[in-house]
């Protein structure tokens, strides 16, 4: 130290203060980390089952968006319970999610609701320390669309559903039919597959376990019209090969008559799932292992593609369906919703009525089934 400046403070005093925090500061930092890891769990404990389920669907779509734009989810796709999944998310990514939904023709109300969900969880991720505070503030500035703004956006987008539908429908246990007029606002546009493409997607591309897994997945989507979330929940024990039936759970309509549904397996589904379960499925996973399993990568020489022990979740199913659609030469991205739409359209053309469609697809609204029936000329419909 310079003796000519006796009152000068040591140059490294501030660094000493930083390197020697007080016990309260240490405890505070530890408390922040612990609280950050538990903040998601505490939030979920306070919410109703329906809210948690809705948020799960919103965040699964957010993960699907990230995969669609080519981002690897190194910290996983569980944005609802794992704070680390949010690491790297920026306001630009969230803004891109809004624009991506518009490009996918989702309704403005749905876009706003999903944005709100993402902002809530991103805010908790800031408290958990995985998103910088400044970035979190920018994310919170992203606004949804006002009513007038939404109308302006819709005017520039193709209306993919009829504005209004009127029909007569006889509810179960009712003596008389009721006439219903409803307005349709959903904007999601589905791709209708032609028969040749659908048939090809339900055939194994080769003899690998992965190819049979993919064929089974497409049978469940194209022949049975299951939602991706329903496929993800299927277990090996849900398949009764002797009876030729499948019993499965529909989380989207929990509490209704369609919560648990039994389908008679189509001939193609029965053939594929029999080979899959009897010759390829790991014996150690019987009977309650996931039905649609992840696989190792299939190499160009035909090696690999082996079944693993974990099942595909909804996001990975959506990603796989998109890949299979692209591989088959489809010009537009294929989704599980497109497959469900294709299945419903085919059944309507075969002459299945509203009650039959509602039971098969788990719809609680006759309007949904009516959209497919009215799209087909009654004179051209026939029973298969």
Instruction: Indicate if 64 and 131 belong to the same structural domain.
Output: yes
Helix (H) or strand (E) holding 313: none
**In-domain check, residue 161:** no
Instruction: Indicate if 38 and 92 belong to the same structural domain.
Output: yes
**In-domain check, residue 16:** no
Q: Report pLDDT digits (tens) over 140-162.
A: 999 999 888 887 887 776 554 44
Q: Which residues contact 156 (CB under 8 A, 6 or more apart)?
A: none
Instruction: Indicate if 135 and 212 belong to the same structural domain.
Output: no
**In-domain check, residue 1:** no
d(CA 109, CA 296): 39
Final residue in a domain of this structure, among 151, 178, 203 = 151
Instruction: Indicate if 103 and 231 belong to the same structural domain.
Output: no
Q: What pLDDT is recorded for position 158? A: 58
Instruction: Indicate if 231 and 341 belong to the same structural domain.
Output: yes
Instruction: Indicate if 217 and 325 belong to the same structural domain.
Output: yes
Instruction: Indicate if 369 and 257 belong to the same structural domain.
Output: yes
Instruction: Indicate if 146 and 239 belong to the same structural domain.
Output: no
Count of the separate structural domains present in the chain? 2
**In-domain check, residue 170:** no
The model's pTM: 0.62
Peptide bond into 287 cis (omega under 30): yes
| CA-CA-CA-CA dihedral for 149, 150, 153, 159, to nearest 10 | -150
CATH number at residue 266: 1.10.443.10
Distance spanning both ends of the chain, measured CA to CA: 97
d(CA 241, CA 211): 20
> Residue 3 — pLDDT band, cuts 50, 70, 90?
very low
Q: What pLDDT is recorded for position 155? A: 74
- At residue 33's C-alpha, the angle toward residues 27 and 39, to 5°, is 125
Q: Report pLDDT digits (tens) over 227-282.
A: 998 999 999 999 999 999 999 999 878 888 888 999 999 999 999 999 999 999 99
10 Å Cβ neighbour count for 129? 16
Q: Is the pLDDT of residue 378 over 50?
A: no
**In-domain check, residue 187:** no
Instruction: Indicate if 68 and 204 belong to the same structural domain.
Output: no
Q: Which 3 state secondary structure label does DSSP give 240?
A: strand
- At residue 155's C-alpha, the angle toward residues 153 and 159, to 5°, is 105
Q: Is the pLDDT of residue 117 over 60?
A: yes
Q: What pLDDT is recorded for position 288? A: 94
Q: Show the domain range for 76.
A: 25-151
Instruction: Indicate if 250 and 369 belong to the same structural domain.
Output: yes
Beta bridge partners of residue 304, listed in sequence order: 298
Q: What pLDDT is recorded for position 135? A: 95
**In-domain check, residue 4:** no
Instruction: Indicate if 274 and 357 belong to the same structural domain.
Output: yes
Final residue in a domain of this structure, among 116, 151, 186 = 151
């Amino acid at each position: 130290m310079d003796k000519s400046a006796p009152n000068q403070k040591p140059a490294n005093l501030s660094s000493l203060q930083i390197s020697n925090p007080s016990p309260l500061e240490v405890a505070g930092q530890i408390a922040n980390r612990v609280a950050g890891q538990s903040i998601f769990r505490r939030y979920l404990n306070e919410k109703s089952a329906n809210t948690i389920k809705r948020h799960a669907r919103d965040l699964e779509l957010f993960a699907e968006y990230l995969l669609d734009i080519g981002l690897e989810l190194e910290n996983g796709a569980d944005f609802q319970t794992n704070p680390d999944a949010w690491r790297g998310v920026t306001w630009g990514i969230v803004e891109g999610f809004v624009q991506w939904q518009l490009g996918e023709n989702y309704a403005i109300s749905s876009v706003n609701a999903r944005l709100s969900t993402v902002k809530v969880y991103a805010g908790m991720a800031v408290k958990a320390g995985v998103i910088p505070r400044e970035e979190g503030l920018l994310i919170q500035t992203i606004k949804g669309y006002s009513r007038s703004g939404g109308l302006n956006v819709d005017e520039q987008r193709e209306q993919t559903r009829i504005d209004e539908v009127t029909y007569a429908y006889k509810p179960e246990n009712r003596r008389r039919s009721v006439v219903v007029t409803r307005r349709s606002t959903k904007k999601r546009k589905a791709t209708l597959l032609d028969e040749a493409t659908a048939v090809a997607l339900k055939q194994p591309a080769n003899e690998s376990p992965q190819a049979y897994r993919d064929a089974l997945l497409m049978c469940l989507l194209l022949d049975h019209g299951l939602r991706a979330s329903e496929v993800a929940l299927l277990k090996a024990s849900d398949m009764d090969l002797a009876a030729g039936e499948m019993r499965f759970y529909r989380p989207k309509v929990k509490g209704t008559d369609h919560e648990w549904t039994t389908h008679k397996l189509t001939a193609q589904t029965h053939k594929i799932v029999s080979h899959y379960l009897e010759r390829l499925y790991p014996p150690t996973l019987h009977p309650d292992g996931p039905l649609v399993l992840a696989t190792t990568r299939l190499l160009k020489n035909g090696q690999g593609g082996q079944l693993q022990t974990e099942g595909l979740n909804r996001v990975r199913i959506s990603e796989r369906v998109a890949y299979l659609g692209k591989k088959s030469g489809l010009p537009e991205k294929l989704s599980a919703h497109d497959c469900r739409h294709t299945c419903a359209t085919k059944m309507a053309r075969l002459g299945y009525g509203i009650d039959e469609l509602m039971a098969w697809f788990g719809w609680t609204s006759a309007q949904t089934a009516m959209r497919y029936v009215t799209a087909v000329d009654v004179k051209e419909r026939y029973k298969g």
